[in-house]
Amino acid sequence: MCGIIGYIGKRQASPILLDGLRRLEYRGYDSAGMALSNGHGLEVIRRAGRIENLRKAVAEINPRGEVGISHTRWATHGAPTDANAHPHKDESGKLAVVHNGVIENYQQLRDWLKGEGHTFSSETDTEVLAHLIGFEYDGSTETDPIQRLVGAVQTALPRVKGTYGIAVIHEDAPSVIVGARLGSPLVVGLGEGEHYLASDVSAIVTHTKDVVYLNDYDVVTISRTGYDVQHVEGGAARVTVSRVDFTEDEAEKGDFPHFMLKEIYEQPNSIRNAIRGRLSKDEGTAILGGLQMTQQELRQVDRIILSACGTACHAGMVGEYLIESLARIPTEVEIASEFRYRNVPTTKDTLQIVISQSGETIDTLAALREAKRKGLKCLGIVNNVASTIARETDGGIYIHAGPEIGVAATKSFTSQVAVMTLLGLLFGRIHHLSSTDGLELIDELEAIPDKISQILAQADHIKQIAEKYAHVEGMLFMGRLNNYPVALEGALKMKEISYIYASGHPSAELKHGVIALVKPELPSVFIAPHDAVFEKNISNIEEVKARKGPVIAVATEGHPNIEKVADDVIYIPRCPSSLSPLLTVIPLQLLSYYVAVARGCDVDKPRNLAKSVTVE
């Protein structure tokens, strides 16, 4: 998704903006630009392609100015070209806007503005927004330029249908930047004699840890000395100052070549962080303080709907097995983009849980709002503290995974599964689970981080397997029961960072059509831990081998028979079958990583993808 950073203060803005854009690169983009206000007009520099192209242009031009806004664009309307890159100016050329989101009625607004004599130089919806605000600014009778600019934003935005996170500057009001949000995140960074505006706190965490997360319909004015937040329709808005809970180092790669590899290796600690302080060994249960639900309300829950997208949805599918097996509560997973349009029957005791690493995924947010519209109690399993989803749910559980910068989700998946294990334990102990069973699960969960470390120690072995198959054009991922979602997750990882076509299936589905694909050039990855369906998986592997399909198996150590049927085997330590997805996913994360590296792919910023999908 698009990234935004604005700066107003006592330092030259361009280096700060470029550094902030670099920290937002992981979100995915295809062009970048900045606009600086130096008291004598606006200087706008835009370049298609990587931020390096913009950096070179800025070095050549060396624009001056202590006030600026900048943007990385993930194209929604119009190709990734210099002309379509943000910032966009209004008819007068004195106002500039950067925007994250989609203006759904931009064509109608564009036609109306053309009728008012406006001309456009791009194909974007954002340029229409710039002209609309400029139209209101030029038509205002307000004499104070700052109030005139704020008023123009507040008058223009109600005419917009869609989503926006914007930053606006005007050369007549060089002492302020105006921002506003609806559906796309925006945060204010608080400094000494300087302030920031950003779409993601990681862009400004090096400068300040004191931030204000804006809410929908907020309009903020930042200056060197302060900030003011109003509602888009006027009147003061609620403001909460938050403290960023991660360090600059955590938002950096450190000694790792890619954020994705760093985050794969962080999983022993991220899982420890997800469960820390949430286990009661005395009662053999979980302690989840953020649910905001009484024991009675928890006991009344008779059905759970888990809604999410992508990897978070796969984690939810594992959670379905966990909650049903531990608590015997009917649980179903609804892909968020489907749930929001389906009319799923619910009752007053149905609990909705949305899962989202970023807490900003627009489809998941829409599913949450649809559930709330139906009067359901809604919880969130979220990583990004104070994100929109975290703020709009009735309660929830932060996974405390730290910033996940790589576009491919890794540690967020295992932490989401760990948290849903806690949820299943909590519900189970309210209903039928004994304290001894609960305590046994707690002991096994606490042992998982060290077992992940044992798998990570096999990285070289997994790298060799990856390089052996890096040339293939397709890959099948097969698993049963709670490892079927892991097959889906392994396939998603492989396709999104190595661009190999990959698909995940329940192993038994092979004979219902999938096996027609099997051939020597098409490897199948079987997730076959030593569980109740292990022998069934072995049979499926033999079906593939009989048709000369190569097989990579993820299996449990101590059961070497699988080496008689699989071409390559990656062993995981023993663990209860209910927790095996926490281990079986690790080899698949590393496999996709090393295949992508071998294929020369951009692992942290895969083509066409964004870290947080805040547009529909």
Contact 265, 257 (CB under 8 A): no
Contact 452, 586 (CB under 8 A): yes
201 binds ligand AGP (CB under 6 A): no
Element (H, E) at 187: strand 187-190
Site string for ligand AGP, 490-509 (x = CB under 6 A): --x---x-------------
CB-wise, 409 or 590, nearer to ligand AGP? 409
In the set 262, 451, 495, 611, the catalytic residue is: 611
612 binds ligand AGP (CB under 6 A): yes
Residue 201 DSSP code: G
In the set 2, 313, 378, 575, the catalytic residue is: 2
Helix (H, G, I), strand (E, B) or coil at 299: helix
Stretch that binds ligand AGP, among 11-19, 76-84, 162-170, 404-412 (CB under 6 A): 404-412
CB-wise, 230 or 357, nearer to ligand AGP? 357
CB-wise, 68 or 403, nearer to ligand AGP? 403
Choose, by CB under 6 A, the member of 221, 223, 361, 415 that binds ligand AGP. 361
Stretch that binds ligand AGP, among 204-212, 354-362, 505-513, 553-561 (CB under 6 A): 354-362
Closest separation in Å from C-beta 384 to ligand AGP? 8
Would you call 482 exposed, middle or buried from its count of C-beta atoms within 10 A (0-12, 13-18, 19+)? buried
Q: CA nearest 378: which of 350, 419, 411, 345?
A: 350
Choose, by CB under 6 A, the member of 185, 189, 310, 380 that binds ligand AGP. 310
Stretch that binds ligand AGP, among 12-20, 167-175, 286-294, 355-363 (CB under 6 A): 355-363
CA torsion, ordered 355, 359, 365, 371, to nearest 10 deg: 40
Pairing relation of β-strands 568-572 and 551-556? parallel
Choose, by CB under 6 A, the member of 270, 356, 483, 498 that binds ligand AGP. 356
At 575, the amino acid letter reads C
Q: Which two tokens stand for residue 23?
A: 């920290």
Q: Apex CA 79: angle with CA 74 and CA 83, to 5°?
A: 95
Closest separation in Å from C-beta 443 to ligand AGP? 29
Q: Apex CA 486: angle with CA 352 and CA 569, to 5°?
A: 165
393 binds ligand AGP (CB under 6 A): no
Q: Which two tokens stand for residue 211?
A: 């931030």
CB-wise, 118 or 605, nearer to ligand AGP? 605
613 binds ligand AGP (CB under 6 A): yes
Helix (H, G, I), strand (E, B) or coil at 40: coil
Closest separation in Å from C-beta 29 to ligand AGP? 15
Which residues have CB under 8 Å from 204's CB, separation 6+? Answer: 5, 20, 187, 189, 196, 198, 211
Q: What does the H/E/C string look like for 476-512?
A: EEEECHHHHHHHHHHHHHHHHHHCCEEEEEEHHHHHH
Stretch that binds ligand AGP, among 227-235, 350-358, 543-551, 572-580 (CB under 6 A): 350-358
364 binds ligand AGP (CB under 6 A): yes
Contact 572, 583 (CB under 8 A): yes
Closest separation in Å from C-beta 340 to ligand AGP? 14
CB-wise, 48 or 615, nearer to ligand AGP? 615
CB-wise, 7 or 413, nearer to ligand AGP? 413
Question: How far is 453 from 476, CA to CA, in rounded Å?
Answer: 26
Stretch that binds ligand AGP, among 73-81, 406-414, 431-439, 461-469 (CB under 6 A): 406-414
Closest separation in Å from C-beta 149 to ligand AGP? 33
592 binds ligand AGP (CB under 6 A): no
531 binds ligand AGP (CB under 6 A): no
Q: Which residue is nearest to ligand AGP (CB)?
A: 310
Residue 171: CA count within 13 A, CB half-sphere: 15
Question: How far is 459 from 585, CA to CA, in rounded Å?
Answer: 13
Closest separation in Å from C-beta 358 to ligand AGP? 3
**Has 2 been annotated as catalytic?**
yes
Choose, by CB under 6 A, the member of 17, 42, 306, 407 that binds ligand AGP. 407
Choose, by CB under 6 A, the member of 264, 309, 459, 601 that binds ligand AGP. 309
311 binds ligand AGP (CB under 6 A): yes
Helix (H, G, I), strand (E, B) or coil at 514: helix
Stretch that binds ligand AGP, among 8-16, 20-28, 105-113, 307-315 (CB under 6 A): 307-315
CB-wise, 35 or 312, nearer to ligand AGP? 312
Ramachandran region of residue 162, left (φ > 0), alpha (ψ -120 to 50) or beta? left
312 binds ligand AGP (CB under 6 A): yes
Q: Which residues pair with 246 in a beta bridge?
A: none
DSSP line for 561-574: GGGGT-SEEEEE--
Contact 318, 486 (CB under 8 A): yes
Choose, by CB under 6 A, the member of 211, 386, 409, 502 that binds ligand AGP. 409
Stretch that binds ligand AGP, among 94-102, 161-169, 356-364, 545-553 (CB under 6 A): 356-364
Closest separation in Å from C-beta 561 to ligand AGP? 33
Question: How far is 613 from 361, CA to CA, in rounded Å?
Answer: 5
Q: Which two tokens stand for residue 43?
A: 């200087």
Q: CA nearest 351: which of 409, 389, 387, 395?
A: 395
Cite the beta strand spans of 279-376 per DSSP E: 279-280, 285-286, 303-308, 331-335, 350-356
Catalytic residues: 2, 611
Residues binding ligand AGP (CB under 6 A): 309-312, 356-358, 361, 364, 407-409, 492, 496, 612-613
